[in-house]
């Protein structure tokens, strides 16, 4: 038998052994994880975590923050104001939960594209801005309004610079935050769109 024939036989045997080894559990046990990170499905975890933070973290965190600030030691008016504002926080957290949960379904719309991470990160960035802006709109308006009501009942309204105009500060700030984050996110998606168009032109 010639050396060339021996090499072919050896390579055939080694190839067959390697093929059988690749089919064993030892070689394929990580396939679900590889598919998970390869298809962009892992980004769904971000949406779920942020939804839970909005639903649970915001109300609990606001209570902890209030205790650290000593709001419960500021008298009945301070406690009443916080309780009313806390209900606004709970409502904002519930709206934020629905926002993140609804956006989670959009991950599947881009996972088949060649560019996966950029459009999904753009959507996460946009959703984060919408979430922060929504919290400012709801909590800023509600907390400011309840604060004015409580202070007005105690004759302190005239001592606040700007007075009722402060109620609009949160919604205005929230609106511009939403606008800014959406603008940046659209710029990121525009970059991907241009890249896809250039790729299609190059293929033609």
Average pLDDT over residues 83-99: 95
* Distance between CA atoms of residues 133 and 96, nearest Å: 10
pLDDT at residue 159 in the model: 44
Find how far residue 84's CA is from the centre of its chain: 27
Q: Each residue of 100-136: b (16+ CB within 10 Å) or e?
A: bbebbebbeebbeeeebeebbebbbebbbbbbbbbbb
Q: 6 pLDDT band (50/70/90 cuts)?
A: very low
Q: 7 pLDDT band (50/70/90 cuts)?
A: very low
Reported as a single tens digit per residue, the pLDDT across 126-170 is 999 999 999 999 999 998 888 888 777 665 555 455 556 778 888
Two tokens, residue 64? 């902890």
Q: 45 pLDDT band (50/70/90 cuts)?
A: confident
5-14, 43-52, 156-165 — most confident range: 43-52
On the question of pLDDT at 53 being above 70, the answer is yes
Helix segments in the chain, DSSP class H: 3-22, 25-28, 31-38, 43-52, 58-69, 76-104, 107-110, 117-153, 169-203
The reported pTM is 0.76
Question: Computed from CA positions of residues 43, 45, 51, 54, in that sequence, does the dihedral angle turn out positive or negative?
Answer: negative
């Amino acid at each position: 038998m010639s050396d060339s024939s021996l090499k072919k036989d050896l390579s055939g045997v080694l190839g067959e052994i390697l093929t059988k080894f690749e089919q064993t559990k030892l070689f394929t046990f990580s396939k679900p994880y590889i598919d998970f990170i390869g298809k962009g499905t892992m980004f769904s975890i971000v949406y779920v975590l942020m939804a839970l933070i909005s639903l649970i973290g915001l109300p609990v965190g606001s209570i902890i923050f209030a205790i650290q600030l000593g709001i419960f030691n500021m008298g009945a008016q301070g406690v009443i104001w916080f309780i009313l504002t806390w209900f606004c926080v709970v409502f904002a957290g519930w709206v934020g939960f629905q926002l993140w949960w609804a956006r989670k379904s959009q991950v599947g719309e881009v996972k088949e594209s060649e560019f996966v991470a950029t459009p999904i990160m753009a959507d996460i960035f946009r959703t984060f801005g919408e979430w922060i802006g929504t919290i400012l709109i709801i909590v800023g308006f509600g907390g400011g309004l309840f604060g004015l009501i409580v202070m007005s009942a105690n004759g302190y309204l005239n001592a606040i610079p700007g007075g009722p105009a402060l109620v609009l500060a949160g919604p205005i700030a929230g609106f511009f935050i939403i606008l800014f984050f959406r603008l940046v996110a659209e710029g990121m998606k525009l970059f991907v769109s241009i890249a896809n168009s250039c790729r299609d032109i190059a293929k033609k």
